Amino acid sequence: MSKQSLKHKNNVRIAHKSKNRVRIICENITDTSDVSAIEATITERTSAKSVRVNKYAKSVIVEFDSGLDKILEFISNFDMPKKAKDTSQPSKVNIYKAGAALAITPFITNTKAKTAIGLYSAAPNLIEGTKELKNEGVTSKVLEAMAIGTSLALGDHLAANSTNLMINIGEYMEESASHRSDDLIKELAKPNIEEVWIEKREKDGSKTLHKVKTQNVKKGDIVVVGAGETIGIDGYIVEGNASVNQVSMTGEAEPVPKARGDRVISGTVVDEGRIKIWAENVGSETATARIKEYIQSSLNEKSNVGLKATKLADKLVPVTLSLAGASYLINKDMNSVASVLQADYSCALKLATPVAFKSSISKAGRNGILIKGAKAIEALSMADTFVFDKTGTLTHGRLSVVQIYSFKNGFSEADILNLTASAEEHYFHPVAEAIVEAANKRGFSHIHHDEVEFIVAHGVKTLMHGKEVVIGSRHFLEDDEMIDFSAHDEMIASSLKSGLTLLYVGYNKELVGVIAMKDDMRENAKDMVARLRSLGVKEIVMLSGDIKSKAEEVAKELGLDKVFAECLPTDKAHIIETLKNEGKNVAFIGDGINDAPSLTKANVGISMHKGADIAKATADISLLKDDIMSVALAKELANNTMKLIGANFRSTVGINTAILGAATFGMLNPIATAVLHNGTTIWLLLNSMKGVKFGK
């Protein structure tokens, strides 16, 4: 594919061009670009039929009938509009007022004028303090207003204006830190993909593309996504190959190759290629929509430690007032009183904790770990017992063919595999995918067959060469189709005992073969277990519906402490409840529909990337990468976050106690106290914003 470069101020190049469609890369498109305005402008001022901009891929996709050269010329030279400035950003107006008052007051000789200027610049803080005194009692805002008011009343305009300036700078930094923290999290919630292309089969058998609103896409629709476009639904690829950029969802910078049978998620971008996707999750059920929901809850939810910090901060306000009174008795000086009123515990205690949580939630999201809120981090940090479901969690949940048995002359192992793959290739359950993958690796030769009938929980049925073919469970073939298994019972029993999954193949009312499959252990599962132990986890347990011998073999290989085999879904939830009653803090990791009760019962539930929707909905933490090591990384993040919060708490109490002590004994003037107190608060907030290190 040739790529054409153009000379222009917008640094534009053609990445792909077809008869009526062109994809343009424009380096001047950034995160701040107004996508809607760009699309509208190009559509209105050129002959383009439709325009789609993806700012993350820096691409403009244009559909046209004619006039491509003029369209390219326009895009090359027009000024890309930017989004309007965020009005929710903290304002610097009060800082400018306070700074101006501090600067000009020394040059004014009239005392009343000095006081008037001081009152004007400090009015927002004085008014806010008065309101809080009326509505909430004595708070940190009230103390700040009292400090400024006391200095003004004493005629110490330098102290009053300096204090006012420091308070405003401190508040601005606090608001900025909190705002930036919220923005970091919100970045994970990508804009809704408003429209997608779906493939429809016409009456004459032809296939046509139709653009529809994303909310109108139904489960089972075939969604077509080309290079530079964002995937608007979750589903499985049924046709085509593509390189998909998943950085917005998993944190992985390198595009991932995707082919038939692979799952793709909304919010990711097709860098190269073209794919057709069978829509599984649409609308509010997509990964993007769920992330937005999680983010909203994480922004508003307060942890237990956060609530305790807020309550403690409020309780310590009277302590500051008492020290102000003691300071006057000791020093007989109102300046010392004003100095004490500058310092309190409230700001740092109330703000540093939620900022630390938000920073960690954001950092986790960028690394493919979706945490619903601060409580989940807190619960995970305290978890000392980790309970894992086996299939799809400690194992891939992805079967692979390990052995093929042929029972009939004229049917080779390749014949058995090709026959089965031909019937199963249109389905996406794990068994079908394993069969098709094995056939492709061995040189798949398709065998013509009639329409395939899918029998839920049993298997498939079709005709090949005029003979009936049935593929599926033993119950289906033996009981429903009356096929005799007696000649092969010994081999079948031996395979089942060794933990293999068997698929039975019947042809013309005869058992002609068996395909044996195995669910492989995740390569880094053992390393993950070791890492959890290094992070303070005392007990690691596995739950499985498998037979005891098979489950114990897996547990032994991974070095687990305990295993429960042949578990029903209700058994799993009961085991979780028993462990909690023993005084253990339990984290449960699962992926299936049957794991939902256990995820709810545990102190903290973690769902795997390929888990069922109900598992993801009930879990406190959802993994966006298909990597079991993410469980240990999440634990490490939680531990380090709580350590950071603990360190912030100790620093807040220790430093502010020292400042208050010095101010009480007249060792600090109001300006010095304001600088030390607000400087400490800002340092703690920036430390929280930086967040914690984890992984690697």
**pLDDT tens-digit profile of 88-116?**
567 789 999 999 999 999 999 999 999 99
- CA-closest candidate to residue 585, choices 390, 393, 389, 376: 376
Chain length of the chain: 696
SS3 347: helix
Region 474-479 average pLDDT:
91
Most confident of 103-107, 285-289, 450-454, 583-587: 583-587
Please state which of the ranges 50-54, 186-190, 642-646, 678-682 shows the lowest mean pLDDT: 186-190
Please state which of the ranges 14-18, 381-385, 489-493, 559-563 shows the lowest mean pLDDT: 14-18
pTM: 0.63
For residue 379, the model assigns a pLDDT of: 93
d(CA 123, CA 128): 8
- 652: confidence class by pLDDT, cuts 50, 70, 90: confident
Q: What is the DSSP letter of 602?
A: S
d(CA 608, CA 196): 28
All domains of the chain in start order, with CATH:
12-77 (3.30.70.100), 195-293 (2.70.150.10), 396-520 (3.40.1110.10)
Please state which of the ranges 193-207, 345-359, 435-449 shows the lowest mean pLDDT: 345-359
pLDDT(461) > 60? yes
- CA-closest candidate to residue 226, choices 187, 289, 180, 276: 276
Region 237-247 average pLDDT:
82
* Paired sense of beta strands 453-455 and 586-590, if any: unpaired
pLDDT(612) > 70? no
Place of tokens 């606090």: 174
Region 400-404 average pLDDT:
93
Contact 660, 323 (CB under 8 A): yes
- 611: confidence class by pLDDT, cuts 50, 70, 90: low
d(CA 530, CA 607): 20
For residue 499 the two structure tokens come to 């933990």
- 8: confidence class by pLDDT, cuts 50, 70, 90: low
pLDDT(184) > 60? no
For residue 183, the model assigns a pLDDT of: 55
Region 436-463 average pLDDT:
86
- 577: confidence class by pLDDT, cuts 50, 70, 90: very high
Higher pLDDT, 352 or 445: 445
Contact 33, 80 (CB under 8 A): yes
Higher pLDDT, 499 or 630: 630
- 487: confidence class by pLDDT, cuts 50, 70, 90: very high
- pLDDT > 70: percent of the chain: 85
pLDDT tens digits, one per residue of 46-69: 888 878 888 777 888 888 888 888
Q: Measuring CA to CA, how many Å separate 381 from each of 103, 367, 531, 585, 684?
A: 49, 18, 14, 10, 21
Higher pLDDT, 352 or 506: 506
* Paired sense of beta strands 269-281 and 263-264, if any: unpaired
Please state which of the ranges 17-26, 511-520, 655-664 shows the lowest mean pLDDT: 17-26
Higher pLDDT, 232 or 589: 589
For residue 507, the model assigns a pLDDT of: 95
pLDDT(3) > 50? no
Q: What is the 3-state secondary structure (H, E, C) of 279-343?
A: EEECHHHCHHHHHHHHHHHHHHCCCHHHHHHHHHHHHHHHHHHHHHHHHHHHHCCHHHHHHHHHC
* φ, ψ for residue 130, nearest 5 deg: -65, -45
Higher pLDDT, 223 or 610: 223
Most confident of 8-17, 495-504, 638-647: 638-647
pLDDT(253) > 60? no
For residue 407 the two structure tokens come to 């029972």
For residue 624, the model assigns a pLDDT of: 79
Higher pLDDT, 43 or 179: 43
Task: Please report how many Cα atoms fall inside a 13 Å half-sphere around the Cα of residue 592, on the Cβ side.
Answer: 18
Please state which of the ranges 439-443, 540-544, 592-596 shows the lowest mean pLDDT: 592-596
- 514: confidence class by pLDDT, cuts 50, 70, 90: very high
Which secondary structure element, helix H or strand E, spans residue 591, and what is its range? none
To 10 degrees, the CA torsion angle through 323, 137, 374, 600? 130
For residue 294, the model assigns a pLDDT of: 54
Region 220-232 average pLDDT:
85
pLDDT(251) > 50? no
Please state which of the ranges 101-105, 379-383, 426-430, 440-444 shows the lowest mean pLDDT: 426-430
Place of tokens 């049993």: 458
Q: What is the 3-state secondary structure (H, E, C) of 178-212?
A: HHHHHHHHHCCCCCCCCEEEEEEECCCCCEEEEEE
Contact 169, 95 (CB under 8 A): yes
Contact 243, 270 (CB under 8 A): yes
Place of tokens 């005084």: 583
For residue 417, the model assigns a pLDDT of: 95
d(CA 149, CA 155): 10
Instruction: Return the number of other C-beta atoms located less than 10 Å from residue 204's C-beta.
Output: 5
For residue 523, the model assigns a pLDDT of: 87
Contact 519, 358 (CB under 8 A): no
- CA-closest candidate to residue 670, choices 686, 654, 659, 681: 659
For residue 180, the model assigns a pLDDT of: 58
SS3 510: coil
Contact 46, 58 (CB under 8 A): no
pLDDT tens digits, one per residue of 297-331: 555 555 566 666 666 666 777 888 888 889 889 98
Q: What ranges make up the beta strands (E) of 432-571?
A: 453-455, 459-464, 467-472, 501-507, 511-521, 539-543, 562-564
Higher pLDDT, 265 or 131: 131
Q: Measuring CA to CA, how many Å separate 77 from each of 16, 69, 72, 652?
A: 20, 13, 9, 54
d(CA 201, CA 209): 9
Region 203-232 average pLDDT:
84
- pLDDT > 90: percent of the chain: 26
Task: Please report how many Cα atoms fall inside a 13 Å half-sphere around the Cα of residue 672, on the Cβ side.
Answer: 12
